[in-house]
Amino acid sequence: MSAASNTVGTSRPSVSWALGNAIRKLRHKNRLTIGEIAAQVGLSPGMLSRIENGQATMSLETLDRVAGALGSPVSELLRDYAAPEGDAQLVRKGEGMEVVRRGTKQGHRYNLLAYDKGPMRRFEPFLVTLYDDVEVISSFEHEGTEFIHILSGRVEYRHGQQTYELGPGDSLTFRGDVVHGPERLIKTPVTMLSIIVYGEERPG
């Protein structure tokens, strides 16, 4: 057994650290002491403590015995390490990029809440805000399917020849290639989540 660093590179934890962390969490979950587990697997409490802290490695045989003492398969202890690295995209409140789209000149405000990486775009989520002095237009057309969810205010929304009065908590899903848009602002400001999903990936 030898000392091991806690991380490989700058982001992904080492196998030793991931295994030690998994052992410690599972031991705490089962309300077992280091001494109890160490006695079952033939290790000293000090060595098991070093393993839990990612400061020592262990053989596959020892790993199998530790997993057995914890009542867990070895795969469970390796689950977090084997999982793909996180690639989540966080946009804080008020930090969505304000973008120019058709309707911006009429007073529609669009804040993009996520940015597709790479050359192809699969979806676009917007926080849309309509104010008192907005010029109401209902002639938007685009590819894909659009989902809108009203967060505040009330609006009469047109899709094709149908109009829908929408208030907080209401949602509407429709084809983007049919003429649509706000027909009448009933209570402002109107804020809504608008998500456009494209049938096929399109250039960004």
pLDDT in tens, 85-127: 666 777 788 777 777 666 555 667 888 888 765 556 688 899 9
Region(s) of the chain under CATH 1.10.260.40? 7-82
Cα 136 to chain centroid, rounded: 34
Q: Is the dihedral of CA 10, 16, 21, 22 positive or negative?
A: positive
Q: pLDDT digit string (tens) for 127-163?
A: 999 987 767 666 888 899 999 999 999 999 999 999 9
> Is 97-203 a domain of CATH 1.10.3720.10?
no
Are the C-beta atoms of residues 150 and 166 closer than 8 Å to each other? yes
Sign, CA dihedral 20-21-27-28, equals positive
Helix 45-52 vs helix 34-41: angle between axes, to the nearest 10 degrees? 110
Compute CA distances 180 → 110, 148, 175, whole Å. 16, 12, 9
May I ask the CATH architecture of the domain 7-82? Orthogonal Bundle (1.10)
pTM attached to this predicted model: 0.57
| Cα separation, 70 vs 19, whole angstroms | 13
Q: Where in the chain do CATH 2.60.120.10 domains reside?
A: 97-203
Indicate the pairing of strand 162-166 with strand 109-112: unpaired
